[in-house]
Amino acid sequence: MQMRKLGQSLEVSALGLGCMGMSFFYGPPRDTAEMTKLLRAAVDLGVTFFDTAEVYGPFTNEELVGAALAPVRDQVVIATKFGIRHGERGPSPFSGVDSRPEHIRRVTEASLKRLRTDCIDLLYQHRVDPEVPIEDVAGTVKDLIAEGKVKHFGLSEADAPTIRRAHAVQTVTALQSEYSLWTREPEVEIIPTLEELGIGFVPFSPLGKGFLTGKVDSSTSLAGDDLRRVLPRFSPDAMQANRVLVELPEGIAAERGATPAQIALAWVLAQKPGCVPIPGTTKLERLEENLAAVDIQLTSAELQRIEEGTARIHIQGARFPAQLQTKLGR
């Protein structure tokens, strides 16, 4: 497995593993024993970077990751997140944001217990809280770092001014945002800011929540509790309109003897040396497929072909419904 560096000192596998879907978002939680096997298989395959959050479940994903990785804790980097209010193990996980210093401290202590560790490698603010100055958030995490409970500070879906303000108080090691062939907004201001400040970039949903694999289309029947059902981009009309985007990685994949998912991931990996995507999966064969993308080096001609093709495509549908954007500040 190739390694990459987030920020100045956090070395991780070039591809991480997003663990959310094992417990949350994409239908019912998966079998704990099977997911434990998958997490340990990921370690055997060279993955050292695992992403979770207290809100995934809520709580159950941290418990799964903590238990599964406890025997290999010294070999892996675990990232988790605070800052989204949620119901207690209920059907309404997103009720707003909360990054008050006392809340950060309380949930960090709880996350440490669920993760079965005495130190969180990378602690992200999950979403910016407009009611709490980012300086107070960064200062609280700085104190947690000084106390040995956290090693690195991260932000998720923050804008460039917020990143700068936080970084001035406590070094930001990584910024996590959605980024893929169909979500390229970070290229405008976020990625240049990260490069200027020496901050790593962790794209989530680099496969467009499954859409860029070519296996999800307007005829796909999503489970009743699959939250993609409420995302505007996953309406049948939007998926039909956006299908043309999938044809770009499909065409190159056919020529390279690869899969569309591998080409989509190779494209993300090619965008920035300090870029570490975290695709999620619940299947070993998909994990192996994704990890093989690390060895695919797209040529300049292929990258240009993708660039020219995407420039002609207007993506239909918002990332999130308006109500959820309001709750999460995005």
Report percent pLDDT > 90 for the chain: 87
- 321 φ/ψ angles, rounded to the nearest 5 degrees: -65, 155
Say which CATH superfamily domain 3-328 falls into: NADP-dependent oxidoreductase domain (3.20.20.100)
The bridge status of strand 84-85 relative to strand 77-82 is unpaired
- The angle, 0 to 180 degrees and rounded to 10, between the axes of the packed helices 101-114 and 134-146 is 40
Answering whether pTM is above 0.75, one says yes
- pLDDT tens digits for 93-142? 567 899 999 999 999 999 999 999 999 999 999 999 999 999 999 999 99
Structure tokens at 257: 């003897």
Report which of 190, 192, 157, 197 is spatially closest to residue 173, judged by C-alpha positions.
Answer: 197
- pLDDT tens digits for 287-322? 999 999 999 999 999 999 999 999 999 999 999 887
Higher per-residue pLDDT: 226 or 249: 249
- Tell me the average pLDDT of the chain: 94
d(CA 284, CA 290): 10
Are 17 and 50 within 8 A, CB to CB?
yes
| pLDDT at residue 254 in the model | 98
Question: Which active-site residues does the annotation give?
Answer: 56
Average pLDDT estimate for 85-93: 57
Report percent pLDDT > 70 for the chain: 95
Distances (CA, A) of 310 to 38, 159, 180, 239, 261: 34, 24, 11, 16, 16
Average pLDDT estimate for 24-53: 96
Q: How confident is the model at residue 166 (pLDDT cuts 50, 70, 90)?
A: very high
Higher per-residue pLDDT: 326 or 101: 101
The residue type at 201: F
Report which of 1, 4, 3, 55 is spatially closest to residue 274, judged by C-alpha positions.
Answer: 4
What SS3 class is residue 323? Answer: helix
What SS3 class is residue 302? Answer: helix
Per-residue pLDDT at 90 exceeds 70 = no
Are 131 and 88 within 8 A, CB to CB?
no
- pLDDT tens digits for 11-21? 999 999 999 99
| The residue to which tokens 């993506």 are assigned | 315
d(CA 20, CA 157): 17
| pLDDT at residue 94 in the model | 66
Per-residue pLDDT at 327 exceeds 70 = no
Name the least confident of 93-102, 235-244, 255-264. 93-102
- pLDDT tens digits for 64-85? 999 999 999 999 999 999 999 8
Report which of 289, 272, 265 is spatially closest to residue 5, judged by C-alpha positions.
Answer: 272
Per-residue pLDDT at 218 exceeds 70 = yes
Q: Looking at mean pLDDT, say which of 149-153, 222-226, 316-320 comes out highest.
A: 149-153
Average pLDDT estimate for 220-231: 87
Q: How confident is the model at residue 328 (pLDDT cuts 50, 70, 90)?
A: low
Per-residue pLDDT at 326 exceeds 80 = no
Per-residue pLDDT at 223 exceeds 90 = no
Are 40 and 4 within 8 A, CB to CB?
no
Domain ranges across the chain? 3-328
